Amino acid sequence: MPLYEYRCPDCRKVEEYIDPVEHAPVHRCGKCGREMDRILSVFSTASKSSSPDGGDCGSCENSGSCPLS
Ligand SMILES: [Zn+2]
């Protein structure tokens, strides 16, 4: 299942949730209770990225040997 990142519009707290593809639930900020906005989605395999620059394979020149792919 995809991993989604949510951000509170109020206090900017960011949390990650693994949601079902359909019927994504509403997540509320644990700090102030505001409904959080989904800001991006990455597949769960990307969450174990250890790339020092935080990049992803989309910009990797050596995609054939990239350890993240
Ligand atoms: Zn908040």
What average pLDDT score do residues 18-46 get? 82
Domain membership of residue 14 as a residue range: 2-59
| Residue 24: inside a domain | yes
Residue 1 or residue 4, greater confidence = 4
CATH of the domain at 34: 2.20.25
| Residue 54: inside a domain | yes
The Å distance, Cα 25 to ligand 1 centre, comes to 17
User: What is the domain count for the chain?
Assistant: 1
The Å distance, Cα 36 to ligand 1 centre, comes to 8
Q: What is the pLDDT of residue 60?
A: 60
> What are all long-range contacts of 15-19, with beta carbons under 8 Å and residues at least 24 apart?
16/47, 18/44
Q: What is the pLDDT of residue 3?
A: 86
The Å distance, Cα 66 to ligand 1 centre, comes to 37
- Per the prediction, the chain carries an average pLDDT of 77
Answer yes or no: pTM beyond 0.75. Answer: no
Residue 6's nearest CA partner among 21, 53, 25 is 25
> 29: pLDDT confidence band, cut at 50, 70 and 90?
very high
Residue 69's nearest CA partner among 44, 46, 39 is 46
| Residue 12: inside a domain | yes
Residue 58 has phi, psi (to 5 degrees) of: -65, -25
The Å distance, Cα 37 to ligand 1 centre, comes to 11
pLDDT in tens, 45-65: 544 555 555 555 665 665 566
